[in-house]
Amino acid sequence: MSPEVARLGHVALETPDLDASLEFFRDAAGLEITERTGDTVYLRAVDEWDHHSMSLTEAEEPGIDHVGWQTAEPEHVGEYAEQFETQGLDVTWVDDDAEPGQGEAIRFDVPEGHRFELYGEMEKPDPPAERDSKLKNRVYDPSGDNPIAPNRIDHLQIWDPDGLGCAEWLQENLGFQVQEFWDDADGERWGTFLSACEVKIDLAVVQSTTETDDPAVHHVAYDVTSANDLFAAHDVMNELGFPTDGIGQHAISRGEFCYTRDPVSGHRIEFNTGSYLTLDPHWEPVAWQEGDLKDRQWIGAIESTERVRY
């Protein structure tokens, strides 16, 4: 049996001002801190049991350190390492708990340069006693102090100078499957929307607009429960003075969204809801072409193209 990726785990982000970024990610967006070690803070959403779905590290420049994915079994990490080394990729091992809460892991660069991490095990720390939910199937008490508090990390959008090549590499080497894709009028791939967990989009790979564009992350999406929560998120971000890019719905994924951005680091969060599950074991990728409901691509919002490099 070949190794498998089970799901998107976390994003490791860098910011020039850790405390200022926490005002955005914790105080406004409502992520919960599980641990703080040196210049890194580990956060998770209120419906996540695992140690972190995001880390923030103070650094000279905003950046992405890596994107973490959990394998289906712990031993798959070593199997992937072997596979990538055979291909000539540069694989770095990360010791058990070197990244707090996380088992042994490997890091490597997906062409054209997205730094991925594969790990098999992650601790599930209890929330502070006063925040522990009485419901045994819920992590944090919802009577807590944040009005947004998304449920869990949902997906990531990355930009790549060779988007199609990147997506194909992920299909062949990590077993990602294509949920949807979008081609322009010339038949050139603009975006490929991939699943690692097999039931929803976990990663969107978008063709960057200039060939010299570095690989970059456009946004990290966190799931919220309903369209009402998108308006609530927008309200809170406005009140706290954080920039937003509007509320709307994508045709691709059918996801309803509200985008917002940490002004200090430039990292963008999408609060999203309203998409579908692909429980079909033989899902046929949804093929969009330029002209198909083009005006629905980005409804009710001005597209914002700033993104953060690795």
CB of 24 to a copy of itself, least distance (A): 12
Q: Give 152 or 309: the residue with its C-beta nearer to a copy of itself.
A: 152
d(CA 182, CA 204): 11
Residue 192: beta bridge partners? 181, 205
Question: Applying CB under 8 A, does 225 fall inside the site for a copy of itself?
Answer: yes
Question: Applying CB under 8 A, does 293 fall inside the site for a copy of itself?
Answer: yes
Question: Applying CB under 8 A, does 310 fall inside the site for a copy of itself?
Answer: no
Q: Give 90 or 295: the residue with its C-beta nearer to a copy of itself.
A: 295
Binding mask 172-211 for a copy of itself (x = CB under 8 A): --------x----------------x-xx-----------
Which of 98, 276, 294, 306: binder of a copy of itself (CB under 8 A)? 276
Question: Applying CB under 8 A, does 236 fall inside the site for a copy of itself?
Answer: yes
Per CB under 8 A, contacts with a copy of itself among 95-154 are 133-138, 141-147, 151-152
Which of 15, 55, 192, 253: binder of a copy of itself (CB under 8 A)? 253
Q: Are 224 and 152 in contact (CB under 8 A)?
A: no
Which of 277, 291, 303, 305: binder of a copy of itself (CB under 8 A)? 277
Question: Applying CB under 8 A, does 77 fall inside the site for a copy of itself?
Answer: no
Question: Applying CB under 8 A, does 93 fall inside the site for a copy of itself?
Answer: no
Which of 232, 263, 304, 309: binder of a copy of itself (CB under 8 A)? 232
Question: Applying CB under 8 A, does 20 fall inside the site for a copy of itself?
Answer: no
Question: Applying CB under 8 A, does 301 fall inside the site for a copy of itself?
Answer: yes
Residue 111 CB neighbours (<10 A): 16
Per CB under 8 A, contacts with a copy of itself among 37-76 are 47, 49-50, 70-73
Question: Applying CB under 8 A, does 28 fall inside the site for a copy of itself?
Answer: yes
CB of 210 to a copy of itself, least distance (A): 26
Q: Give 122 or 216: the residue with its C-beta nearer to a copy of itself.
A: 122
